[in-house]
Structure 1
Amino acid sequence: MIWQNSLYLWFLLIIPVLIGLTYWYNRRLDEKRKKYFGSKLLQKLRRGFWPWGKRIRHLSLYIGIALLILAAAGPKIGTEVREVKRQGVDLLIALDLSASMNAEDVKPSRLEKAKYEVSRLIEKLQGDRVGLVVFTGEAYLQSPMTMDYSALRLFLNIAETNQMPSSSTDFGAAMETAADAFDRGGKDGQSSKAAKVLLIISDGENHGADYDGALEQLKEENVSIYTLGLGTASGTRIPLYNDSGTLIGYKRGENGTEVKTRLQAEVLRSIASEGGGEYYEIRSGGSGIDAFLGQIDELQQGEFASQEYADFKNQYQWLVGFGLLFVIVGVTFPYYTADSS
């Protein structure tokens, strides 16, 4: 059980205060009665008085006030299931985790900038199903299609270049994994009317085999492929860090010279063109991801299967009802019997 307005629970302290004041008032009243009236006269004046009736009155009032305070605090118990219908597109983000994404020609690094922009994208989505593929020379489905954007952010935040067994880049592997993810999403109840979109975020350096076959498969499944490039044309070195995050040098090739990485915009532009999408670029600003979001809004929207949303159910109504009942009893309950006339 949780409370919607737990601060109201402090008002329960009123109950022991009322009990104390009532006890003190009755004691003083009894002392005054004994001072001015004898016991026999007092019994005649209070003929038919029922002490237990008065106690029941007071007790009912205390219980009623306590229940009304608890109701104001908003107790939530159990679960409430609601149906929520969503409309949007199926969006799969393929994030490059190769070593070159650690390059810092885009601050703080290509990868950190990509994760920041994807987080901004997720914040602006409404009703779209989103999944995450991470890839280097191999590709993995980090998060299947979901409308739980909080969970997706968790998967995005833990994406790092050192989690992958390979440090190279293979767009073919990313596309094949994306095709499987879209196929799996369709079996999970995807609307057939929803547009399917693949967004590849990379610096464009491809060290894998030919990806034409995988690209053709995505086109056959009516997947629109967009690309988002990170980096600069002039390029920079690839930093290497140890487990504690300290810079230990820069990546070197087989001949011992430092490897320089640069944005391969032509590769990403070609993929987007063949995939029926568009190429965007991010450097210091976020105009690329904003332009892509505008494109998403123009695509075919589909209605996904109803989603059941469970939440704590507010139970204050019962407490209000019983509280008012006890208050009424406390106000109207008789404490004089019929022979008091």
Structure 2
Amino acid sequence: MIWQDGIYLWFLLIIPILLAASWWYNKQLDEKRKKYFGADLFEKLRSGFWPLGKRIRNASIYGGIALLMIAAAGPKLGTEVREVKRQGVDLLIALDLSASMNAEDVKPSRLEKAKYEISRLIDRLDGDRVGLIVFTGEAYLQSPMTLDYSALRLFLNIAETDQMPSSSTNFSAAMQTASEAFGSIEEDKKTKAAKVLMIISDGENHGESYEGALQELQDQNVSVYTLGIGTDAGTTIPLYNDSGSLLGYKRNETGEVVTSKLQPQVLQSIAEDGNGEFYEIRSGGSGIDAFLGRLDELQQGEFANQEYADFKNQYQWLAGIGLLFLLIGMVFPKYRVVE
């Protein structure tokens, strides 16, 4: 048994105080009566008095007060099982961490803007399982499918371009990793949730052909959406040291400064072939908002059917019995008709 407001139990100390005060008052009253009345005369004056009735009356009143005080403390006993169902879609976010994502044509940078929009997306999810893939020339499952959005944010916050061994971009690697992640959850046959892969990138692809990996996702009934980030004009790719000071700008093999632009054609093609849609993020967040609207329309499945055991409130019974005892104490007779 546990108590919701155990402090009220201290009021039970009032009961022995009242009993002691009642005993002292009756003792003083008896001493005064003996001064003015003899025992026989007092019995005649108190004809019909029922000592047992008085004891029952007093016991009912004190017992009722005690039960009401215990009820006020909120006793909880036993367990109350509650079933909680959560529904949503299976969503994997593939975030491009190539060097070109450091370009600052979208402030403060493409990567930071992408992380901000992903964070907004997480804030508005409810019951969707979400995972995070980071990719460049290689891809890694940074966070497996989870309903723990706070843990996902931690993985998102530490995602940086310098954590990856390659600075190029390979969509095929991201798709293969996504296919493996979706394959690992297919054993859950109870859910019929839609499976969605969202690729966030500036569209530059330096890897192998992704057609085979995309076909594998289609075979798994995964819808592939793409979110392009950057501008058509593009900009240079800054290089910073560990202290945040600008060292220069990324150059190609011939020593020329590289200009990175948003290349939507590749992303549009992926979304079209992947039964998804293509969105853009430039300065605002309209792209992620449009994707959220589409996400709400997708078929949702039941991910968690969990049972939570909790202590069940019992104060109602104690309060009811306490009020009944008080009622008995007020109406129970102290005198009986003498024939």
CA distance 1:9–1:183, shift in 2 (3 Å)? same
SS where residue 315 of structure 2 aligns? Answer: helix
- SS of the counterpart of 1:280? strand
Q: What is the root-mean-square deviation of aligned Cα atoms in Å?
A: 4.1
Q: Tell me how far apart the structure 2 counterparts of residues 315 and 171 of structure 1 sit (CA, whole Å).
A: 53
**How do 1:38-77 residues align onto structure 2 when only pairs under 5 Å count?**
38=34, 48=51, 56-57=59-60, 60-71=63-74, 75=76
Shift of 1:176: 0.3
Q: Do the aligned partners of 2:9 and 2:69 also contact (CA within 8 Å) in 1?
A: yes
The 1:137–1:77 alpha-carbon spacing in structure 2 relative to 1, beyond 3 Å, is farther
Which of 314, 317, 324 is the aligned partner of 1:321?
317
Indicate if the aligned counterparts of 2:7 and 2:73 stay in contact, CA closer than 8 A: no
Q: Deviations over 1:40-67 (max 9, x none)?
A: 8699668837998687546523431233
Q: Which residue of 1 aligns with 2:264?
A: 265
| TM-score, structure 1 normalization | 0.75
**Structure 1 stretch 195-204 or stretch 94-103: which is displaced more?**
94-103
TM-score w.r.t. the length of structure 2 is 0.75
Secondary structure of 1:104's match?
A: coil
Contact residue 239 and residue 249 of structure 1 kept, 8 A: yes
**1:77-116 CA distances to partner (integer Å, 9 max, x unpaired)?**
7572415263x54332211223433433323332332233
State the distance in 2 between where 1:47 and 1:81 align: 52
Equivalent pair of 2:81/2:308 in contact (CA under 8 Å): yes
Query: Secondary structure of the equivalent of 1:188?
Result: coil
- The match for 1:33 is 29
Cα displacement (A) at 1:331:
5.3
Aligned-pair CA distance for 1:151: 4.6
Q: Distance in 2 between matches of 1:310 and 1:25?
A: 51
- Percent identity of equivalent pairs: 46
Unaligned runs of 5+ in 2: none
CA contact (8 A) 1:134 1:142 kept: yes
For 1:283, the aligned partner's letter is: R
CA distance in 2, matches of 1:28, 1:102: 87
* 1:75/1:201 CA distance change after superposition, 3 Å: farther
Say whether the 8 Å CA contact 2:138–2:174 is kept in structure 1.
Answer: yes
Per-residue CA deviation, residues 10-49 of structure 1 (Å, 9 max, x unaligned), is 5556544x44873685377358626743388699668837
Distance 2:9 2:310 in 1: 23
- Distance, in Å, in 2 between the alignment partners of 1:56 and 1:224 is 73
Q: Which has the larger radius of gyration?
A: 2
Q: What amino acid does structure 2 have at the position aligned with 1:70?
A: A
Count how many residue pairs are aligned between Structure 1 and Structure 2. 328
Q: In the TM superposition, what is the alpha-carbon distance from 1:182 to its structure 2 partner? A: 1.9
- Give the match for residue 295 of structure 1: 294
Report how far residue 154 of structure 1 moved: 4.5
Q: Distance in 1 between matches of 2:256 and 2:32?
A: 110
Distance in 2, matches of 1:208 and 1:41, equals: 115
Superposed CA offset, 1:286-305 (max 9, x none)? 11112222333444x25446
Deviation at 1:232, TM superposition (A): 2.3
Judge conservation of contact 1:198–1:225 (CA < 8 Å) in 2.
yes
1:164 aligns with 164
The alignment partner of 1:276 has SS state of: coil
Deviation at 1:180, TM superposition (A): 1.2
Displacement, 1:202? Answer: 1.2
The 3-state SS of whatever aligns with 1:284 is coil
Amino acid in structure 2 at the alignment position of 1:133: I
Q: Distance in 1 between matches of 2:79 and 2:112?
A: 40
Relative to structure 1, the CA distance from residue 220 to residue 333 in structure 2 (aligned partners, 3 Å threshold; closer, same or farther) is same
2:80 aligned with 1:84, yes or no? no
| Alignment partner of 1:132 is 2:132 | yes
Deviation at 1:228, TM superposition (A): 0.4
AA of the residue aligned to 2:238 = I
Aligned residue for 2:106, secondary structure, equals coil
Superposed, 1:139-218 pairs within 5 Å as 139-189=139-189, 191=191, 194-218=193-217
Q: Using the alignment, how far apart are the partners of 2:38 and 2:93 within structure 1? A: 91
Structure 2: distance between partners of 1:236 and 1:66: 74
| Contact 1:47 1:339 (C-alpha < 8 Å) held by counterparts | yes
Q: Distance in 2 between matches of 1:94 and 1:235?
A: 23
